[in-house]
Amino acid sequence: MPVKLAFAVVVACLVLWLAASILRASRQRKAARAGYFDAVAPLFDRVVRRIEPTGFARVTGHIGARAFDLQALPDSLTFRKLPTLWVMITLPEPLPVDATLDIMARPTGHEPFSHFASLPQSLPCPDDFPQGTAIRSDNASEVPPQHLITRHAGVFADPHVKELLVSPKGLRLVLLGDEADRGRYLIFRDAEVGLAPLSPSRLSPLLQSLLTLRDDLLENAGKTR
E strand segments, 82-224: 84-91, 101-105, 121-123, 133-137, 161-167, 170-179
134-188 per-position pLDDT tens digit: 999 999 999 999 999 999 999 999 999 999 999 999 999 999 998 865 544 444 4
Going from the C-alpha of 172 to that of each of 16, 21, 37, 164, 178, the distances in angstroms are 47, 39, 17, 6, 18
Mean pLDDT across the chain, nearest whole number? 86
Q: What is the mean pLDDT of residues 30-34?
A: 82
pLDDT band at 17 (very low <50, low <70, confident <90, very high): low
Total-model pTM: 0.85
Output the pLDDT for position 75: 86
